[in-house]
Each structure stands twice: as structure tokens, then as C-alpha cells.
Structure 1
Amino acid sequence: MVTRLLTDVPVDIDRDTARLRAAGELSGPAYQSAKPGWLSEAFTWVVEKLLRFLETVDGAVPGGIFAVVLLVVVVIVLVVVIRLRSGPLATAAKAGRAVFAGQRKTSGEHRKSADDAAARGDFDDAVRERFRAVVRSLEERALLDEKSGRTADEAAVEAGRLLPEVADLLRAGARLFDDVHYGGIPATEAGYRSLSELDDRCRRARPVALVAG
């Protein structure tokens, strides 16, 4: 095509005529079909702008683009941590680790379920039900308010203020409950017996407020 253009051009062609002929040739369908589309041009423009920005950052910030990327990652992690400790994410996480789920039972019903599970060797269920018996018993004695969504740690901390003599055992029992029920750690007979002892001691313990009175 270029060869045809050259053979058609007279030797003594002037500048204006050459420009007009070249423009006419480039406007032909073959050249127009080879022209990049708007999407390709837009992509090229974005890439050029991004590369220019990275070059500017690399020269202006100590550590270059690596430092900027690291800073962005740290900020994202901080935002996620804050959202987990407060707000909707924290509420959802706490609700997902509640002690009770479904219909409430009495402490006696939880103890019976725990003993039955232990008798058949299902210490996972035995641990869950025994710790629920502990918390439900504290609610029945009005040492804890009946509050849905309470976690094992919350129950242990709240009850430990009124029953300081078993506060450490309550926290240990809460950790065992969470490890088994939410952490997937297999329970043992020894762990179940430690919760049975905790249940008995909590039932015998007197709140400090009543002792002081």
C-alpha cells in the first residue's frame, strides 16, 4: 500500500499536495481498522499515570514504594482490629461465642445432660453442658442477670467479682468451654471433672456482698 502511494506520487509534487494525499491514504479502512480502540487507549493512559505516580512516590518517600505498600497493609490491619473489637463485627463475633444456644434449660437439666454425656464417653458434650450448668446456676441465684449472648469469659468475669474465691477457677472453666466448644480441642475426662468440681464449689460459695452485709 505504501509502495502504491510512492509510485502514484509525481516527482515534482509540492508539500500541500503530499500532505493531502497522505491524509487521504491514512483515512482508508485498512489504517482505521488497525487503530487502537478507546478501551486500549484508556488502559494505556491509566498504566502511564500509575507508573508516573509510583516513580514520584519512589523518589519522595523513604523506602520507596515498598514502604508505601507496607504502610497501607498496616493501616488495613489496624482498621480490621478496631472493627473486631468494637462495632458490628465485635457484636457478631461475641454473639457467635455465646454460652447458651437455643431453648434455655434449668441448671439441673444441664447437669443431667452432662452426666449422661460423660457416662457414654462424650466428654466434649459433657464439658459444654457442665459449664452451662455452672452459669445457669449463677443466674438462678441472681448472681448473674439472665442475658442472652453472654460469652463464657463474660460470665466468668462477672461472677468472679461476687465469688472471688472461685474467680480463677471460673476463668479456667471458661477457657476450657471455649477451647472445646469453639476451638475444636477434644475434651478429656480430667477436664470434665474439673468443671464438676467448679460447679460444686460455686454452689457452696457465698457472694462477698452477702458476707459483707
Structure 2
Amino acid sequence: MTGASAVVHGALAALPVGVPVDPDRETAHRWLLEELSRPEYSTAPSLLERLLQWLGDLFDGLTLGEGRFPLAFVVVVVVVLVAVIAWWVAGPVRLTRRRRRSVVVLGDDERTAAELRASAGAAAARGDWSAAVLDRFRALVRSLEERVVLDERPGRTAQEAAHDAAVRLPGVAAELHGAAGLFDDVCYGTLPARPDDDRRLRDLDERVRDLRPEPRTADAPPSEVGAP
């Protein structure tokens, strides 16, 4: 049975009882057209085919040397461009912006280093590791201010504190910057604090208290300030 005969046979089978099954040529032709117009016989191009056709039409006029760009080459170029743009927007640009952000360490907090350490210990005892980590780092910075390793500067951020402290305490520079990054992450809520984080900051605070800071090489002795 040919394809057209099968279609006509299907159309005849769908007719109600009582309809003549031996139509003339004109009726059979009409039934064939009606049957072929049904959705299941549709051969419309798929979404992918339409996309490829659109890309082909878009780059149809482009030439390379004496030949045309193959469609596959055009698709690869478009995909690579989209990937590069997405990587540039979501990758290093976003990471750079994040690194530039830093939270003010103390703000209006006037607690002493001892009080901040006690607050951190209480937070750790109740399992609030985020509060413990934040107060551990604040205690570290406040301790450096009390020892005049750092000058008291309102609005100093965690990264600024780490940078300034690392100049006077180069032996723990990496640990200070790591602690500042942890402070920022926990304060922004991007990283949940863990018991190990609290322990690491507590150990760093104790280690820093035993270190002798480097002299302020950029500062002149008091007796020489203003001297000609």
C-alpha cells in the first residue's frame, strides 16, 4: 500500500458509518488534503533547526578569502564568544570586586581586647561560631591597638587592619590576611564559621601577643619631628 493510499484509507476509516466508501476522484482528493492538514502530518522545522537557519542567514553574507564561512564554524564562534563574555562577567571581575570589599572591624565598638575575648569565648561555648570568629578577630585588632602596634583609626576594615599589622608583624602576614578574609566572609554571611575557624583565630591571637613588632621605619623619633 502506497503512502497516499494509506492516508486515504485512514481518512475513510475515520468516516462515520453511512458515508460512501467509494468516492469519486474529486472527493477522494479533497479527503486526502484534509487528512494531510492534520497536526500529526506536520513537518515544521524544530527549534534547533530554526536556530541554525537563523545563524546561517545571519552570517550568510560573510566570506573568508574565496570561500564562505561554514555554518559549523559560525556556530563555534558564537558559542565561544558567549562563553568568553559569561566568564568575564561572572569570573575575575566578580572575584576582583569581592576582594575589594571588606568590613569595618570595630566601628563604634569600644570594648577592650579582654572583653572581646570573653565575648568570643561565650559565643563559642554556646556553639555560635560565627559570633565567636568575629569577636576573636576584633579582639586581635583591639589588642594591637592597645599595644600601639596599630594606631586607633575609626572605620578601619579587616583587610586594612591585616595589611597594617603585617608591616609590623611580617612573620604572621599570611595568617593575618587569612584571618581578615575569614572575618569578611563570615560577616557577609558567605561562609559559615566552624569550630576550627574559632580555634585558628584564638591561636593566632595568642601567637601575636608573644611577637615583638618591627619598628616603625617611616616614623621619625619624637625629638627629631620638625627638626630642620
Partner of 2:167: 161
Partner of 1:201: 207
How far is the alpha carbon of 1:69 from its aligned partner?
3.5
1:157-193 CA-partner distances (Å, limit 9, x unpaired): 43222202222332343354355443333411x4323
Of the structure 1 ranges 126-135 and 110-119, higher mean CA displacement relative to structure 2 is found in 110-119
Contact 1:99–1:132 under 8 Å retained in 2: no
145 and 49 in structure 1: CA distance in 2 versus 1, 3 angstrom threshold: farther
Please tell me the residue identity of whatever aligns with 1:127. Answer: V
Please tell me the residue identity of whatever aligns with 1:75. Answer: I
| Equivalent-residue separation in structure 1 for 2:186 and 2:205 (angstroms) | 17
93 and 149 in structure 1: CA distance in 2 versus 1, 3 angstrom threshold: farther
Q: Does 1:71 align with 2:81?
A: yes
Partner of 1:105: 110
Please tell me the residue identity of whatever aligns with 2:150. Answer: L
Partner of 2:143: 137
- The alignment's TM-score, normalised by the length of structure 2, stands at 0.52
Unmatched runs of 5 consecutive residues or more in structure 1: 1-47
Please tell me the residue identity of whatever aligns with 2:69. Answer: A
Contact 1:123–1:192 under 8 Å retained in 2: yes
Which of 182, 190, 209 aligns to 1:183? It is: 190
How far is the alpha carbon of 1:116 from its aligned partner?
1.8
Sequence identity (%): 35
1:72-108 CA-partner distances (Å, limit 9, x unpaired): 431353255565466xxx3x8744x415376333343
111 and 85 in structure 1: CA distance in 2 versus 1, 3 angstrom threshold: same
Considering only aligned residues, what root-mean-square deviation do their CA atoms show, in Å? 3.7
- The alignment's TM-score, normalised by the length of structure 1, stands at 0.55
Contact 2:168–2:216 under 8 Å retained in 1: no
Partner of 1:60: 69
Bigger fraction of residues in helix: 1
Please tell me the residue identity of whatever aligns with 1:67. Answer: V
| Equivalent-residue separation in structure 2 for 1:83 and 1:169 (angstroms) | 25
| Equivalent-residue separation in structure 1 for 2:178 and 2:172 (angstroms) | 10
How far is the alpha carbon of 1:57 from its aligned partner?
5.0
85 and 177 in structure 1: CA distance in 2 versus 1, 3 angstrom threshold: closer
Contact 2:116–2:138 under 8 Å retained in 1: yes
| Equivalent-residue separation in structure 2 for 1:112 and 1:98 (angstroms) | 22
Corresponding pairs, count: 158
